[in-house]
Every structure is written in C-alpha cells, then in structure tokens.
Amino acid sequence: MNPKDFTSKSTTSKSMTSKDLGRRPAVPNATVVRVAGPEDLLAYIPYRLGFEPAESVVAVSLTGPRQRVGLVARVDLDDLRLRQPDDPQGPDGAATARWLADHVVADGADRAVVVLYTATDPAAPSGAARRGVDLLRARLERRLPGTEVWLVAPTGFRALDCADPMCCPAEGRPLSVLKSSRVAAHMVLEGRTVAGTREERYSLRAAPETARTQARKAAARWTDTYRRLLNDTRFDTRFPDGGGRRAVGAQALRAEQALGEWGAESLGLWRSAVRQAADVRPGQPLTLSPVDLGKIGAALADTPVRDAVLLSLAPGTEETALRTARRQTDGDTDTATGAVLARIVDPEQGVPPDGTITEAARQVLEAVVTHVPRNRRAPAYLLLALVAWWHGDGGLATERVSDALGVDPEYRLALLLHGAIVGGVPPGWVRREQGSSHGEAEPEEAAAV
C-alpha cells in the first residue's frame, strides 16, 4: 500500500453492512487524529463498524488530496459467492459487488481499499475467499484503478498480493501491531469499544423476568384504557331521536378529551424517563420504572403518541409534541411537524441530531424493547432505527428497522426507512455536506475520527 497519509473525519464517515449504508455522527470539538498508513486504517475499521469483522469483505473509499476515509462498507463473504444454476434464490455475488462498488464511487472516492477478513486460505485461487475479493476488486478497478486489497487473518495481516516476505510474510504481520497503533490508542482513550461479533454489537439483553412481568401487565392495562376511550369516541347512530344522538355526541366528545389526556400523560411518562436517562452520570446504571416502560411501550402503538415522541427528538418542540399527543392537530401543528421532519430528511434544512437528546432517548427506547413483549416492540425498534439513521449509523439503523419489520412486516414507516437505508439515502445534513464537500477544497487540518 502506498504509505500516503489517510485521514478520517467523523462528519464524513459512513458505515455499512450487507444491508445498509450510513454515516457516523458529527462530533463537535472532536479531537484531531491522523490515520497514517495501512496499520492505522486497519486498526480503525473495527471501531467504525463497532465489531470485529469475520468472514467479511470491507470496502473503504478514500477521497480528496488528503485521502480522507469516507465510506466503510462491509458485506458477508458469502454474499460475494456467484449464484449457482441449481440455487436461483442463493447469493448473487456479481450483484453484491456491483452494488457495493456503485456506493463507493457514489461517495466520491478517488481510490478504494478492500480488506478481506477470513480464517480460510485466500491464496487458493479456487477458494471462496479469493473469488469473492477478486470479484469486488475487478468491479472497483473499472472506475478506480489501483484498488488495493489487504488480508486480516487470525495469524496476522498483510497486503494480499505482496510477494516480498520481508514486507509481507506468509503468516502476516502480528495483529498486535494493529492493537497498539495510534488510532487504536486514541479510540480507547475516547471510550470507544469494539464488540467481538456483529451479534454482540447489536444484541439487547432482556430485562429480568420480574421487571418484564410488571411492564407486560402495565402495558396491557394502558392498552385497555386506550381501547375503551377510542371506542367511546365513535359516534353511535342507533338513536332515532336527536336527543339521544346529542347525548351520545357529548359522551364521544368527553371520550375524545380523555383520549387526548391519555396521550398527554403517555408523552409525560416518556419525557420523565428521558430526563432521568439524561441525568445519569457516566458509568452509573440507568434504572427506570418497569410500569412506566410498559405504559410507554403500549402508548407508542398509538400513531399520535409515536409522532409526538419523534418530534421530541429535536429541541424546541415541546408544545408541538404535546399538541400532537393530545390529537390537537391543526395547520400550525402540521407546519411545525413538517419543519422538524425537514431537520432530519431535507438536504437544505437538515441538521445533525442533538446527541444530548438522542442518546437519552436511545437508552429509554432500548429499555422499552427489553421490557415489553415482542409484539409491542415495533414502534420502539422503528424509532431506534430512525435515531441511528439520523446519526449516520447505518449498521444499527438496518438492524433495528429489520427488528421492527420482524415484528410487523407491514409497518409502513419501517418499510419507508428500510427503503431509504438500502437505497443508500443518507439523512438531510449528510446529503448537504456531501454536496458542499465535493465542491470545496480540502481543509488543511487533519480530520477528526
């Protein structure tokens, strides 16, 4: 590999699995660190993904005069296997390679680096590992000549095609070199960790059984209240005389008001839990009421409450969120809601998320997921996916939106978000940044990891 410096900027970083594309969040006042050479780049990849890749191929885009690290994209090695005539539903490696290369090029890459993570022997020309990486390299070479391939194996790392035993011994250079690199040290100092496996990175451990029982019972009671109020709001035309109809109409109006208060109380429970999460000091456990978590989980099934929680992820939306939860929608509320959504999706108005809000919200939503029964988790999974996508964590966004669709395959908002992720559509602030960065000169300072 050319020893040219590589730099990585968190505000231009992205990550992807075989199902996702995305970026890491912007980090205000982030510490500057230089990624110089292949050792630092290879050390950085697991921290970007959040887990140690295994039997995977990772593509990295490098852009601009400073060769900034842009897209970091991972696919399972099996996804690069060529489709067999007797298995028409099996992996289509050619399509995967084309899809991956298209995204690397679309990222504005001037160069690309491919990293093969495998415990098998990639030197065997007929082996699956070698065929897969060669398939991707050939696709990238068409538009990015000079694409380099590195191997990370249990015995060490080396340039895949390097024939110089002094530079690249057959067993590779020790992996300890990556663990002791400057980038790895910087990540550790910033508190960044790497999970051992992808499953470990994305798993959510269930709450204790007693807490789950309390949450389940509270959710059932809260849902019963909701259904009763919702049923009472329906206008009953069984009465032939106007007086009876008026009486039923007054009852329905009272039920509508009570349903609005149910929504307001649900939002209040959410806000209280988020405040509690935000007040927890680093290193201390977050303990939330299982009863409240059960109620929140039940309330998120109501679209106005879910939308109010979504609005609360942006600052300055307290009144709009409350009116939404109370079903008091009007022209002003719709305008305010549109403005908040534009902060997330619109490339002209999009802004990075406020981490002080979204981090606390994430903790509460994950607590809801780990407490309530599976059939109640889809809205919380969806909101977790949206937060991750807004931050640019495509891997986590894909995992959570898939979780939501696993509970409810017809969940419309989850289907829309899933389509955006798979299509490589980033949040608004990232698209705006992409447009501006491609037209501006690279800054002189090293980029932030």
pLDDT at 29: 37
Q: Are 377 and 369 in contact (CB under 8 A)?
A: yes
Q: Give the residue-averaged pLDDT of 387-401.
A: 89
Give me the pLDDT at residue 46, please. Answer: 92
Taking 80 as the threshold, does the pLDDT of residue 416 lie above it?
A: yes
Interatomic CA distance for residues 366 and 204, integer angstroms: 7
Q: Encoding tokens for residue 413?
A: 């908002």
Most confidently modeled range among 212-226, 247-261, 410-424: 212-226
User: What DSSP character marks residue 23?
Assistant: B
Q: What is the pLDDT of residue 402?
A: 93
315 phi and psi angles, rounded to 5 deg? -70, 155
Q: Structure tokens of 322?
A: 């409350």
- Give backbone dihedrals phi and psi of 6, rounded to 5 degrees, phi first: -115, 140
Assign 261 a pLDDT band (cuts: 50, 70, 90): very high
pLDDT per position as a tens digit, 56-71: 999 998 887 777 888 8
Q: Is 219 exposed, middle or buried (0-12, 13-18, 19+ CB in 10 A)?
A: buried
Which of 139-148, 155-164, 236-245, 368-377 is the least confident region? 236-245
Tokens 């990624």 map to which residue?
Answer: 35
Say which DSSP state 215 is in.
H
pLDDT at 249: 65
Percent of the chain with pLDDT over 90: 45
Chain mean pLDDT for the chain = 82
Q: Using pLDDT thresholds of 50, 70 and 90, give the confidence band for residue 436.
A: low
Choose from 80-89, 237-246, 334-343 the range with maximum mean pLDDT.
Answer: 334-343
pLDDT > 90? residue 392:
no
Residue 346 — φ and ψ, nearest 5°?
-85, 130
Tens digits of residue pLDDT in 189-219: 877 889 888 888 889 999 999 999 999 999 9
Q: Which tokens go with 358?
A: 């979204």
Which distant-in-sequence residues (6+ apart) come within 8 Å of 425 by Cβ?
Answer: 431
Q: Among 437, 289, 300, 282, which Cα is nearest to 375's?
A: 300
Judged against a pLDDT cut of 70, whether residue 280 lies above it is answered with yes
Cα distances (Å, whole numbers) of residue 255 to 264, 294, 335, 360, 412: 14, 23, 27, 33, 28
Which of helix, strand or coil describes residue 59?
strand
**Distance, CA of 292 to CA of 218 (rounded, Å):** 8
The whole-angstrom separation of Cα 3 and Cα 177 is 16
Residue 308 has pLDDT above 90, yes or no: yes
Cα radius of gyration rounded to whole Å, the chain: 25
124 vs 277, higher pLDDT: 277
* Residue 63 CA: distances (Å) to CA of 39, 74, 240, 302, 372: 19, 18, 74, 45, 45
Torsion from C-alpha of 246, 249, 253, 259, nearest 10 degrees: 150
Instruction: Enter the DSSP assignment of 79.
Output: G
Q: Classify strands 68-76 and 5-8 as parallel, antiparallel or unpaired.
A: parallel
CA dist 198 to 16, 100, 428, Å?
12, 19, 27
Q: Are 21 and 394 within 8 A, CB to CB?
A: yes
Grouping H, G, I as helix, E, B as strand and the rest as coil, residue 7 is strand
